[in-house]
């Protein structure tokens, strides 16, 4: 095999609870990760030597600042392969809470492992990934999973009832660090609709869509909404256009609205696109 093309799926958080602050300054989380069909695409081909990265689509850093480069470098230095050329077709909006960079890194680990027959298991690749980012292990495994710790301690869950989603990203990105600092400074800013993780887990196990939707929520939403009121405006627009629920992704600022089906998702997206060009119709995987 000389080259390989793989998808790098984004994620949303069906529920996200922020727990205590850790001695290392990060926060423990409890979150239900969910892969979505919106994806970047990576093509990896054998090269005599070195790491070569090209990107197309949404602009992202090139060279060592890109998580794709870091993931390839890690496998090259630890397991040895001559060289690789990677083309990243970027579609997932960066700095949106959709784990775009983490997903690209995970896809790089999977593709390089296959291309050069390195023989690492998905579990080993997830452990390689955690050194580069806490969301990467989930992106290696994909599907639906409960994440604890910084999100890297994973328990795989059954598939959720299929959900059609309208994803809306405002023109700005947010810094995850700023959001957690505001969280620490303002513990009173709880969300209006807090996540109900226990109920969500029970709903996933019983395949109960209605119960799952009622349990969705994100602790960080109130914080990001105060820092960036446009996130509230997006939530309200999604609900006004008919979404059953609208919840922020990760630390934001992207918001996902849940539609009754594909047709309604496309109708809602067409309305939102007038104001927010970065609006996508997607679904859970
Ligand atoms: P998470 O949900 O994991 O916190 P995110 O969706 O908020 O991630 P990313 O899309 O991963 O954020 O981007 C965060 C920053 O990472 C970007 O601003 C960018 O500078 C850097 N970055 C490095 N590599 C990539 C990549 N391949 N794709 C996107 N961003 C990347």
What's the pLDDT band for 193 if we cut at 50, 70, 90? confident
Mean pLDDT of 102-108: 98
Residue ranges, comma separated, of all CATH 3.30.70.890 domains in the chain are 164-283
Question: Coil, helix or strand for 16?
Answer: strand
CA distance 11 to 36: 5
CATH of region 3-156, choose from 3.40.50.620, 3.30.230.10, 3.40.50.300, 1.10.357.10: 3.30.230.10
Q: Which pTM does this prediction carry?
A: 0.96
Q: Kindly give the distance from the C-alpha atom of residue 9 to the centroid of ligand 1, in angstroms, as a whole number.
A: 13
Q: Is the pLDDT of residue 97 over 70?
A: yes
Q: State yes or no: pLDDT of 91 exceeds 90.
A: yes
With 90 as the cut, is the pLDDT of residue 189 above it? no
pLDDT of 43 > 90? The answer is: yes
Q: Are 160 and 149 in contact (CB under 8 A)?
A: no
Q: Which CATH number fits domain 164-283: 3.30.70.890, 3.40.50.2300, 3.30.160.70, 3.40.50.300?
A: 3.30.70.890
Atom of ligand 1 nearest to the CA of 104: 27
pLDDT at 190 over 80: no
Which ligand 1 atom is nearest residue 68's CA? Answer: 27
Please give the pLDDT value at position 140.
98
Q: If pLDDT is split at 50, 70 and 90, which confidence band does 191 have? A: confident
| pLDDT for 124 | 97
Which residue puts its alpha carbon closest to atom 29 of ligand 1? 101
Residue 188 has pLDDT above 70, yes or no: no
End-to-end CA distance of the chain: 28
Cross-strand pairs, 89:
41, 56
How many CB atoms lie under 10 A from the CB of residue 85?
17
Nearest to 135 by CA among 90, 100, 92, 175: 100
**Choice from 100, 248, 254 to test ligand 1 binding pocket (greatest atom count within 8 A of CB):** 100
What's the pLDDT at 167? Answer: 98
Q: Tell whether the model's pLDDT for residue 186 goes beyond 90.
A: no
Distance 203 CA to ligand 1 centre (A): 31
Cα dihedral 200, 202, 205, 211, rounded to 10, equals -60
Confidence at residue 139, expressed as pLDDT on a 0 to 100 scale: 98
Which residues are part of the catalytic machinery? 11, 135
> What's the gap in Å between 101 CA and the centre of ligand 1?
4
C-alpha 98/C-alpha 147 separation (Å) is 15
Q: Is the pLDDT of residue 280 over 80?
A: yes
253 cis-preceded (ω within 30 degrees of 0): yes
Please determine, for residue 159, whether its predicted confidence score (pLDDT) is greater than 70: yes
Instruction: Please give all residues whose beta carbon lies within 6 A of any atom in ligand 1, as ranges.
Output: 60-61, 65-68, 94-102, 104, 135, 176, 250
Mutate which of 13, 34, 101 to test ligand 1's pocket (most atoms within 8 Å of Cβ)? 101
Q: Provide CATH 3.30.230.10 ranges for the chain.
A: 3-156
């Amino acid at each position: 095999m000389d080259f390989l093309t793989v998808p790098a799926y984004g994620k949303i958080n069906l529920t996200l609870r922020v727990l205590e602050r850790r001695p290392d300054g990060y926060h423990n989380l409890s979150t239900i990760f969910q892969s979505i069909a919106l994806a970047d695409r990576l093509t990896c081909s054998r090269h005599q030597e070195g790491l070569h990265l090209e990107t197309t689509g949404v602009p992202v850093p090139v060279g060592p600042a890109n998580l794709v480069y870091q993931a390839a470098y890690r496998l090259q230095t630890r397991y040895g392969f001559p060289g690789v050329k990677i083309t990243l077709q970027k579609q997932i909006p960066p700095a949106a809470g959709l784990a775009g960079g983490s997903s690209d890194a995970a896809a790089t680990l999977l593709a390089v492992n296959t291309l050069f027959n390195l023989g690492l298991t998905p579990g080993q690749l997830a452990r390689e990934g955690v050194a580069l980012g806490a969301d990467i292990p989930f992106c290696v495994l994909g599907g639906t999973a409960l994440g604890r710790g910084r999100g890297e301690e994973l328990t795989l869950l059954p598939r959720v009832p299929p959900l059609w989603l309208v994803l809306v990203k405002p023109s700005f990105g947010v810094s995850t660090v700023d959001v957690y600092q505001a969280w620490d400074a303002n513990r009173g800013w709880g969300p209006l609709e807090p996540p109900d993780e226990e109920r969500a887990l029970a709903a996933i196990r019983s395949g109960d869509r209605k119960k799952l939707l009622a349990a969705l929520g994100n602790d960080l939403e109130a914080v990001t909404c105060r820092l960036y009121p446009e996130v509230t405006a997006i939530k309200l627009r999604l609900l006004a256009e008919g979404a059953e629920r609208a919840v922020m992704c990760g630390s934001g600022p992207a918001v996902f609205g849940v539609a009754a089906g594909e047709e309604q998702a496309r109708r809602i997206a067409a309305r939102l696109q007038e104001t927010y060009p970065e609006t996508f119709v997607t679904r859970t995987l």
